[in-house]
Structure 1
Amino acid sequence: EGDGRNLEDLETLVWTPNHHLTDRQIDQFLVISRSVGTFARALDCSSSVKQPSLHMSAAAASRDITLFHAMDTLHKHNYNIADAISSLVPSTGPVLCRDEMEEWSASEANLFEEALEKYGKDFIDIRQDFLPWNIIEYYYMWKTTDRYVQQKRVKAVEAESKLKQVYIPN
């Protein structure tokens, strides 16, 4: 018993396993897209300031956003690799994909960490008082960074030292 809605209007197909490409061809396309992403970052002045080395640019190009864009591009070009590659490198230059981690400035990232320290994971309060834009996506990406791991270690050491300072009388 349906509700009268057209399912095609509710869903957007972003990938299909029913295509002619082999896993190897897809992997090769992803290597090309990461290379294009690295090259795009090398050409982009704002990226080269944030990621001054080729190593850092390559690491940024290997992030999920580059791969998501590559898979989306392949799907939009009906799994035609030549057409998809052409769209990754149009006449205006290579396509640069950025995620939330790359869009935020250092001061915005510090503000986010201060807000997280003050409010915990109360994103509604953080959004109202500190950062009005998309903090949820940033939060989950931030949790994959070395800064997050370092903060977790510092907090664990602090918690352990507090436990050692507890005095229990006889």
Structure 2
Amino acid sequence: LISFRSVGTFARALDCSSSVRQPSLHMSAAAASRDITLFHAMDTLHKNVYDISKAISALVPQGGPVLCRDEMEEWSASEANLFEEALEKYGKDFTDIQQDFLPWKSLTSIIEYYYMWKTTDRYV
């Protein structure tokens, strides 16, 4: 799994949109250590009949490494701030949060983000 996390960190370093959101190698490595990378690694291993070299080759094809993102990486800092402001105002009424603060986000995305956000140090 260390190899898969390394590929995830490498993919984030090459991805321009990730480097804006994850400006340091430390932050990229932290993002690569989250569940989405682990789940993708297990899925890739399974699809490649648990042959590690085949699985790693599948993660790093000719065009560059495969990048998997979770909701924490898909949201901008301003969207995260809006979410926290909305949560303070409405609590866990995700429908109102979506309607009044984040209409461009799906309800699923907001709920997924909430549960990931709860695991961060911003959740008090």
Fold equivalence (TM over 0.5): yes
- Please show how residues 21-170 of structure 1 align to structure 2 within 5 Å: 30-131=1-102, 132-133=105-106, 134-148=109-123, 152=124
Write out the 4+ residue segments of structure 1 that deviate beyond 3 Å after TM superposition.
none
Higher RCO (C-alpha 8 Å, min separation 6) = 2
| Identity percentage of aligned residues | 85
Return the alpha-carbon distance in structure 2 between the equivalents of residues 143 and 70 of structure 1. Answer: 24
Q: CA RMSD in A?
A: 1.2
State which structure, 1 or 2, has the greater radius of gyration over its C-alpha atoms: 1
Task: Measure the CA separation in 1 of the matches of 2:46 and 2:52.
Answer: 10
Structure 1 residue ranges without an equivalent (≥5): 1-29, 153-170
* Structure 1 length-normalised TM: 0.67
* CA–CA distance in structure 2, aligned partners of residues 98 and 52 of structure 1: 15
* Number of aligned residues: 120
Distance apart, 1:93 and its partner CA: 0.2
Calculate the TM-score normalised by the size of structure 2: 0.90
List gaps (5 residues or longer) in structure 2: none
- State how far apart, in whole Å, the 2-side matches of 1:80 and 1:128 are: 47
Q: CA deviation at 1:83?
A: 1.6
1:128 and 1:52 map into 2 onto residues whose CA distance is: 31
**Match of 1:66, as an amino acid?**
T
